[in-house]
Structure 1
């Protein structure tokens, strides 16, 4: 996978903005993801075709964290915007406050790569959330990597 450097969504998220989002989601983002998004906020990717669960996928872009989503041309790619659109399809817990499965990248045709905090709040796995198979409070996910670093290694992305 290649990162298209000229597609990084600016402004890059500040530490304060990230902390505010983490409070809203009621989770702490893994350090490897934080390092990535602070430099590659919402970046588009190419040559990101892969298989998972006997299906082919194509990653389009990573999602971003923005302060002013309404006035930003890339606001539709903000993690909060996507989360608010599909949130009830990301959990089976109707009483959940915050997030358990957080979208971080869009895939061709409406699926998302997500951080999955359901089994470990401190070290989320990476999954694919299937929009066609998921219903309200009935998410369908497929494990993709053990952690965000594993996802980057899977695509040979060096964050340094």
Structure 2
């Protein structure tokens, strides 16, 4: 995976910060995704396209994790900021503590790639969340890959 070095959002998250976020989101992030965030926080991939349901999608950039989003110009790409904007559209349960779908990348068309924690025993699948078809408490998703590594390796 090649990420445009100048696009990486700094400061990069620490393992402690990621552990705090896991507690807030009430999920366990895959280790490969944690390593990815620590190395490439919010970066723009050189190979940015993938296929889902006979369509090709392009990544605008990966989302980042920031300790202080108020003080960073890239805060619009922070996962917590993104969740604040669209979280009612990422769950079927308004009383849920944590997340069912965790956005990890924004696409050029406004959709998001998410880690899907809805029906998971251990490692979340990767899905595409369709912003146009989804409504409040009615997320529409499409399966992309069985795990984060599989999806990253499929990028063209």
Which bin holds the TM-score, normalised by the shorter protein? over 0.9
Aligned to 1:6: 6
- In structure 1, runs of 5+ residues without a counterpart are none
Q: What does residue 26 of structure 1 align with?
A: 26
Deviation of 1:121 after TM superposition, in Å, equals 4.8
Moved beyond 6 Å, runs of 4+: none
Q: Which residue of 2 aligns with 1:149?
A: 149
Q: For 2:96 and 2:34, how far apart are their aligned partners in 1? A: 24
TM-score (norm 1): 0.93
Work out whether residues 144 and 151 of structure 1, in 8 Å CA contact, stay in contact via their aligned partners in 2. Answer: yes
Answer yes or no: is 1:44 the counterpart of 2:44: yes
TM-score, normalising length: structure 2: 0.95
Q: Is the 8 A contact 2:9 2:43 kept in 1?
A: yes
Q: Deviations over 1:48-93 (max 9, x none)?
A: 1222113231111110000110110100000001111110100111
What is the alpha-carbon distance in structure 2 between the residues aligned to residue 48 and residue 19 of structure 1? 28
Q: Is residue 2:98 matched to residue 1:98?
A: yes
Aligned to 2:81: 81
Aligned residue pairs total 156
- Gaps spanning 5+ residues in structure 2: where? none
